[in-house]
Amino acid sequence: MKLLRYGPVGQEKPGLLDATGTLRDLSTVVPDISSSSLSPAGLDKLKSLDPKALKAVAGNPRIGPCVTGVGKFICIGLNYSDHAAETGATVPPEPIIFMKATSAITGPNDDVIIPKNSEKTDWEVELGVVIGSVARYVSEADAMKHVAGYCLINDVSERAFQTERHGQWTKGKSADSFGPIGPWLVTADEIPDPQDLPMFCDINGKRFQNGSTKTMVYGVRYLISYLSQFMSLQPGDIISTGTPPGVGMGQKPPLYLKDGDKIHLGIAGLGEQHQTARNYKG
């Protein structure tokens, strides 16, 4: 099942993409795609629907973030060994955890805004894991029971803010528009193996990232269990699991986004995103 949200910014409605690719309205069934609809009971309710009985949405509306009311946007750093190598870092002995501000969340095809005073805005295609039920001190064996589904994420990053300023990475990860998610939340039953998903990112039509989730250092099951030892994971929380090599800072010489650049990324089964980088206008 592919769940999404559509409509103008701040006025999104819940929707479902049926097997034929038709967008169906869910607003008469659930108020939104949020924590309550992502619970096991909420997903069972949606799965019991006949999509053909839902109203088809006309036209080509804007697609918004696939989840709303996100409590935590948790990110994992240096989770692909080849990406760590390209940045000059070593694979950490435990997952690197940082937070991306939820105010960074945008729709999958909204503009990426290059922040004021930015010189090193970068791209990162990532697998997102959306939590569906509370996970607290869970084992790896039970971890996947807490997954509502998966989504595509562009973990946009400002590298100078992230690595050349004092403090933690969060300041380089949290600018408005730095968290495009979607187009859909694909329920876990449709992704039997999240550790075998090809992924890519193109800039201005040139392929820079061409990887697979199979090369993650710490897999989804481990990450959920690990994170739940330090904080409870709540329905609607998102875990962004790291990126394969090919980011801008890893190029020789480094290459960063500039006004007008076109970003195209995707993960098999989770859809694609298309963004245009735009300078901050104030």
For residue range 209-257, list pLDDT tens digits in order.
999 999 999 999 999 999 999 999 999 999 999 999 999 999 999 999 9
Domain ranges in the chain are 2-53, 73-279
How do 179-180 and 262-267 pair as beta strands? unpaired
Give the amino acid at 262. Answer: K
Q: pLDDT tier at 258 (50, 70, 90 boundaries)?
A: very high
167 pLDDT above the threshold of 90: no
Q: Of residues 92 and 119, which shows the higher confidence score?
A: 119
Q: Which helix (H) or strand (E) holds 200?
A: strand 198-203
Q: What is the pTM of this model?
A: 0.96
Cβ-contact 80, 217 below 8 angstroms: yes
Write out the two tokens for 236: 């609607």
Residue with tokens 């569906």: 132
| CA distances from residue 278 to 7, 80, 265, 281 in whole angstroms, order as listed | 21, 29, 17, 8
Helix (H, G, I), strand (E, B) or coil at 225: helix
Helix or strand holding residue 227 (H, E): helix 220-227
Query: Could you tell me which residues are beta bridge partners of residue 23?
Result: 17
The pLDDT, as a whole number, for residue 87 is: 75
What topology is assigned to 73-279 in CATH?
Fumarylacetoacetate hydrolase; domain 2 (3.90.850)
* Average of per-residue pLDDT across 141-169: 95
Q: What are the b/e assignments for 174-205, b being 16+ CB within 10 Å?
A: bbebbbbbbbbbbbbeebeebeebebbbbbee
Judged against a pLDDT cut of 80, whether residue 134 lies above it is answered with yes
Mean pLDDT of 16-41: 96
